[in-house]
Amino acid sequence: METIDWKNLGFGYMKTDYNVRCYFRDGKWGELEISSSEIINLHMGATALHYGQESFEGLKAFKGKDGKIRIFRMRDNALRMQHSCDGIMMERLPVELFEKAVVKAVEMNKSYIPPFDSGASLYIRPLLIGSGPEIGVKPSDEYLFMVFVMPVGPYFKEGFKPTDLVIYRHFDRAAPQGTGKYKVGGNYAAGMVAGHQAKKGGFSAVLYLDSREKKYIDECGPANFFAIRENTYITPDSESILPSITNKSLMTLADELGLKVEKRKVAYDELSTFEEVGACGTAAVISPVKRIFDADEEREFVYGNEPGVWSTRLYKKLRAIQYGDEADTHGWITVVKE
């Protein structure tokens, strides 16, 4: 293992020692297998390649100052993957199998878990793909589940610093009543052109409006949207939005901190009234928003060069729970046994 500069990690792939695999064949799931290879053998007719039968998750493990390793909200990720399986007709992965594979992957790669004072974490990527060959459009009868891990820094290179978002009305992230609420690869492929254009323009991500009317806020590219106004945490309710586990956590913490919580349709016209705006997700936790530029109407909404008071409090509280500095009163943490 080469020496890692823990404090200057980006958010990208890094080879670690082992990954965990499990196959669904002949109507049943097999046993977990440990592999040191980064390569998988896949039939050229696999449904993952032709019809997009694949789902993935993202979660993290953290090393606390007490030396303990904590995995955050693993069961919620397992349940969300089952939801995605239902949405694109893949074989449901049992929750217990998901959890066992995640813990095993973390245990097998302990030397890659960043130290407490680095600000980095171990990113965990579970992946489920249709591996059996089909040429007709129908579900596979074979599946491969994998878990691999890598140490990562912040998703946005700015870290917990406000960034700029942009609105493009000629791009949609997902169709109404489509697959937007599932964590499947097609949703992310659909956002790559818009995301690339945004980054070329100096923005961190696209703020998508609803695909039907372009009147309501949907999502910030790879993350959920939230805003603060008059001591209220406001986040969109839409059938096209992936249910973010981080956002769900922040809503719980916001309520505990005394904020009113509203999950509802959020109109575009409200952007000018918000005191704070943020994007939230596993990778970044919270990415505060400095400015939203509407490229179609050449209009901008400005929220400040520094993270807002409530965004900062929520960010620090969630991170404290993840690293074990605050008590986990919600059963979110799984401590990996030494």
Positions annotated as catalytic residues are: 183
Map tokens 């009317």 to a residue: 213
> At 299, which helix (H) or strand (E)?
strand 299-302
User: Is 280 within 8 Å of 246 (Cβ atoms)?
Assistant: yes
| CA–CA dist 292, 271 (Å, integer) | 9
| CA–CA dist 273, 228 (Å, integer) | 9
Tokens (6 digits) for 129: 């793909």
Tokens (6 digits) for 323: 């690293």
**Could you give the dihedral angle defined by the CA atoms of residues 301, 303, 304 and 306, in that order, rounded to the nearest 10 degrees?**
-140
Closest to 53 in 3D by CA, of 125, 176, 137: 137
Residue 19 makes CB contacts below 8 A (sequence gap 6+) with 34, 35, 36, 37, 38, 105, 146, 147, 148, 149
> At 254, which helix (H) or strand (E)?
helix 245-256
